[in-house]
Amino acid sequence: MNPQEIILSDCLENALNQAIEKCPHDKLFVLTDTTTHQLCWPVVSGFSCLQQAQTIVIGATDEHKNLDALAQVWAALSNQGGSRHSLLINLGGGMITDLGGFAASTFKRGIAYINIPTTLLAMVDASVGGKTGINFNGLKNEVGVFNPASSVLLSTEFLKTLDEHNLKSGYAEMLKHGLISNTKNWAELLNFEWEQIDYNQLQNMVATSVAIKEHVVKEDPYEEGIRKALNLGHTAGHAFESLALTEGRTLLHGYAVAWGLVCELYLSVRRCGFPTKLLQQTVHFVKENYGVFTFNCKQYVDILC
């Protein structure tokens, strides 16, 4: 898998201009959803490097991470003259970077793309590592490919547009990275001050989290071994997401991962000797910041399947 350039930028316009210059193209497209088109597109629309870009807008939220929205992107690329030499910029959260990356990877058998993640979740997880895809047949990320973006541009200015729920959704992925890294990182994550957010500190923590994922992906790009550690919390979490999806319940991905961490760390204590103290710390933090996911015994089969 080709390496991707990850840039933590203090000047997004300069970083984007350089990233675009590295991808010679005939046409430039920018993909957003309805929410990021309203909140985030105005941040970049005045950039000189985007004056000739054509925008594609799809529905927001994970409900639109599906085959219909993917076909909508393919159609827009085709109808607006896209070719195998075109370039797609994905401006949005994890849904956009996942779906947009898959659209780019399959249109004309693959065109170059750049990710500009606008949520904490996308910055530390979805936009990095080359996984792309859509939900299908009621299952999360059922169809997709491994294909990294040419560049991933991280600008924490976008984080100031997020509410607390979306920030904490992304923070759950950082918790996962903390659990598989070292005690210093884990302690900083547990002690982060949510009442008065220090965005400079958060930016440094994002850089640490991304570096952890990058290291793992470099060791095992196609998830044949150690990269499976990045799925911590996701097996149970995706089951909760699938149940919520079928029942029409709104559920942010990171919240599902946080609850999944509790389930999987409990199994790790019982079967692998994982430290009980770390489980207790995690349970306390998750309950305090994410609440609980409710279900009953009649739903066990749906969760297990």
CA-nearest of 67, 37, 61, 118 to 248 is 61
pLDDT tens figures, 200-214: 899 899 999 999 999
pLDDT on residue 161: 84
pLDDT tens by residue, 31-81: 999 999 999 999 999 999 999 999 999 999 988 999 999 999 999 999 999
φ, ψ of residue 95 to 5 degrees: the values are -60, -45
Reference 123, options 160, 163, 168, 93; nearest CA is: 93
| Structural domains in the chain plus CATH codes | 5-159 (3.40.50.1970), 163-304 (1.20.1090.10)
Q: What is the pLDDT of residue 201?
A: 93
* Residue pair 230/175 in contact by the 8 Å Cβ criterion: no
pLDDT of residue 97: 97
For all residues of the chain together, what is the average pLDDT? 94
Q: Which tokens go with 295?
A: 């279900």
Contacts of 168 (CB under 8 A, 6+ apart): 194, 254, 255, 289, 290
Exposure on the CB side of residue 98, measured as CA atoms within 13 A: 24
Q: What is the pLDDT of residue 217?
A: 93
pLDDT band at 233; cut points 50, 70, 90: very high
CA 206 to chain CA mean position, Å: 13
